[in-house]
Amino acid sequence: EVQLLESGGGLVQPGGSLRLSCAASGFTFKNYAMNWVRQAPGKGLEWVSGISASDYITFYSDSVKGRFTISRDNSEKTLYLQMDSLRADDAAIYYCSKDLFLGDFHYYYMDVWGKGTTVTVAS
């Protein structure tokens, strides 16, 4: 079964850091671009960041660029999101997702999603 499992969420103070992980199983992780998408409480979806399959090219939304870092370990089949300088408006459920097509081009057709991990930013 194709599966993504996020972890690492929790409560952090404004200005703090958190590292999210997403463990993949059931597919050849190294062949697919991956993404992080978040959803603030009661709000819509927001794409946060993406990383290509094998050349590790990264992309960020303007709202997190310079504060968040996406990375992947293809040998461990794990996606990461390092979040620094966290703000109140970063509080959300963070989902990791897999692109539909294999290869390095990022179509952003996200066909597999994890259940999400919750990040709360408060003092």
Q: Which residues bind another protein (CB under 8 A)?
A: 35, 37, 44-47, 50, 59-61, 95, 100, 106-111, 113-116
- Closest distance of CB 14 from another protein, Å: 22
**Nearer to another protein (CB atom), residue 8 or residue 116:** 116
- Give the Cα separation of 106 and 43 in Å (integer): 25
- Give the Cα separation of 7 and 28 in Å (integer): 20
- Closest distance of CB 104 from another protein, Å: 11
Assigned token pair, 36: 């992080």
**Nearer to another protein (CB atom), residue 13 or residue 101:** 101
- Give the Cα separation of 49 and 51 in Å (integer): 7
- Closest distance of CB 40 from another protein, Å: 12
**Nearer to another protein (CB atom), residue 49 or residue 78:** 49
* Residue 66 CB partners (closer than 8 Å, separation 6+): none
